[in-house]
Amino acid sequence: MLDFSKDCMFDFSTNKVIAHRGASAYAPENTLTAFDLALAYGAEWIEFDVMLSKDEEPFILHDPSLKRTTNGQGILSEVESSYVKTLDAGNWFSKQYKGEKVPHLKEVLKWLIFSDVKANIEIKPCRGFEEKTAVVVLSYLQRYWPSESPLPLISSFNHEVLTLCRNLSPEAPLGLLVHSWDGAWQKQAELLNCTTVHMNQRILNKERAKEVKDAGFQLLSYTVNKRSLAEKLFSFGVDAIFSDYPDLCLA
């Protein structure tokens, strides 16, 4: 197995800001418009979330519930894809975006390939859909991602998902998400052969950042929406930040 933590580092030298769910401060999160806008603001990376509908179709959505970011009702894993495709995913943000759709993973992969934007795919399985979500995401990458291009970074809070991804796709770069400080993070990241560790900015300090870097991982931090905080984290050695403002650190 390749040692991703040391041999497959990502290059964040020209832009250390990853557009969190696209340009989600300016457009409805996890939509193609948010991704287009992130690109327009100079983003080289975007992050988005993938979940499955009842009939196991992969959609770009953060919450299990449809209520916050669409005009739909219910839980994504309990409704059919045909229903999801009818929903408005933009009007909640602004009337300007009325009619925006919940993107399907296939659409977004095609957008990434066409736009030449790097991606962090966060797998957020609904309960009971852990294995299915991992398998579907990897199968779509196998079918639609160019074999000559580096695979997107796959991350998750769910260790079962990451373990499945590592077993099913030994070549995939993985990122371990850490929301609350846990001394076991290094053991988990090493067992999964992760490239990156993604930490909540609230739990990071200079010592903890050094611990991650000294262990040989790239350190990413979320969600950072103030330039002063971004600069502080960069001074700790953080490689890149997730931000709702893809233009946060641009001159």
d(C-alpha 154, C-alpha 195), whole Å: 10
Q: Digits of tens for pLDDT over the chain (251 positions)?
A: 445 445 578 999 999 999 999 999 999 999 999 999 999 999 999 999 999 999 999 999 999 999 999 999 999 999 999 999 999 999 999 999 999 999 999 999 999 999 999 999 999 999 899 999 999 999 999 999 999 999 999 999 999 999 999 999 999 999 999 999 988 999 999 999 999 999 999 999 999 999 999 999 999 999 999 999 999 999 999 999 999 999 998 75
Does the model's pTM come out above 0.85? yes
Cα angle 197, 190, 146 (rounded to 5 degrees) comes to 65
> What are the tens digits of pLDDT across the range 126-164?
989 999 999 999 999 999 999 999 999 999 999 999 999
Q: What is the CATH T-level fold of the domain 14-243, as seen in this structure?
A: TIM Barrel (3.20.20)
Q: Which residues contact 212 (CB under 8 A, 6 or more apart)?
A: 185, 186, 197, 199, 219
Cα angle 224, 227, 231 (rounded to 5 degrees) comes to 90
Does residue 179 carry a catalytic annotation?
no
- Domain limits, the chain: 14-243
**pLDDT score for 151:** 96
Q: What value does the CA radius of gyration of the chain take, rounded to a whole number of Å?
A: 17
**pLDDT score for 251:** 57
**pLDDT score for 7:** 59
Does residue 104 carry a catalytic annotation?
no
Catalytic residue among 20, 104, 179, 198: 20
Q: Given the DSSP bridges, would you call strands 153-156 and 118-123 parallel, antiparallel or unpaired?
A: parallel
